[in-house]
A and B are shown apart, each in its own frame.
Chain A
């Protein structure tokens, strides 16, 4: 495909008009608050040295929310610790991998309120994993660096597998 029609390596959404990549991501229903990014971004969007800074920051915020969610569920239902601790650890590994070269250390997300009912809590986690996996795909589509794309896709695959795992332990 790309062999026959020489095109720029990326058709960047923000180059099509006045729409910035941030507004594309946020308008895409990805659910991460622009305010949070605004606070933590160390420099002006579009003028950073890392073209994938925004995809990384979106992912950092999302992983922090997942970690906080797992911690809250484990605190509310200690019986689930054995099953959920390994998954929470994997989200910490996602966070470390994606935040590795960010200028600013990420702030932990606030603890969310979670249901005390086991099935309801697991369903909440499944929904969060599905949302996260979708977000990784959307973010990978706008990322530029090959390693960042592969990392985001692999993290999304991990999160899709978490959803399947939670389905199994909830059965």
Chain B
């Protein structure tokens, strides 16, 4: 394999593909590598940890076809460190030579035969607006769990609703629900559970892509953006393949309260700013307290032996005066995810879930359990 390519093109492609490369060595050493496959002028880079695979295709000046697996982090670090300009890559028997200007590197290869094959995606594909999907993912993915002890909760539940697609995620402390109306990806009654890590990467990869295609297999989901060139085509694009999570997502509907007695309406930015300040004094897992009353809301935090903070915000409040406490990060995640200038916070009492939503839009809901304070 031999090709020439602009440094910046290669830096970006390596950066994307290596995001799927497993960070903890693991049982299969070859997974610490990135696979490079050249056919004509099309170079496909693949990184994988078996659960998640990211492939990037770019157009280069190809001289000799071939396949090789390079140590991913090292290759990315080398290319990033080079001076801007053309990079020459040539792969020999056991070594890849990377050169630019007067810099020359020789890097030992990993055994290409050991690299896992990427599952073939089914032919049926649906196309989604990438911008809308990215926005929805940004709102839902943070609510998913990172705790591998409950694998089901590490996924985002994608389910067909009457007029579109619904995304749901929960880590059992909060729950985010987002509807994408008019998007029919799944057949009625169909649902899949997609690892949130993969969707987080997808949102990052899509960037300013216009459209994204989705193909659902038995065990995998494949997302593609741009002109991904597989098997000899040419073009610049990205493909992300993720294993699906098996199992029954919890019955989230029964968790959402039908109505709430108290409702706070407050500016999104002022609330986020105040939270950002007050949480400086909410250390060692202490919560931020919200005192809700006719004058609005006052945020406060006390950390024993450290200090305390208070801040009042003008807001509209209908309901009984009450104090309710939240993990400030969880509350900020929900408020941040809301679209629009104003958010509403609906509560029942200090031990029941609160609902955060946009005042202007009804397509997003964030349910948050309070912190019980003694």
- A-B complex is real: no
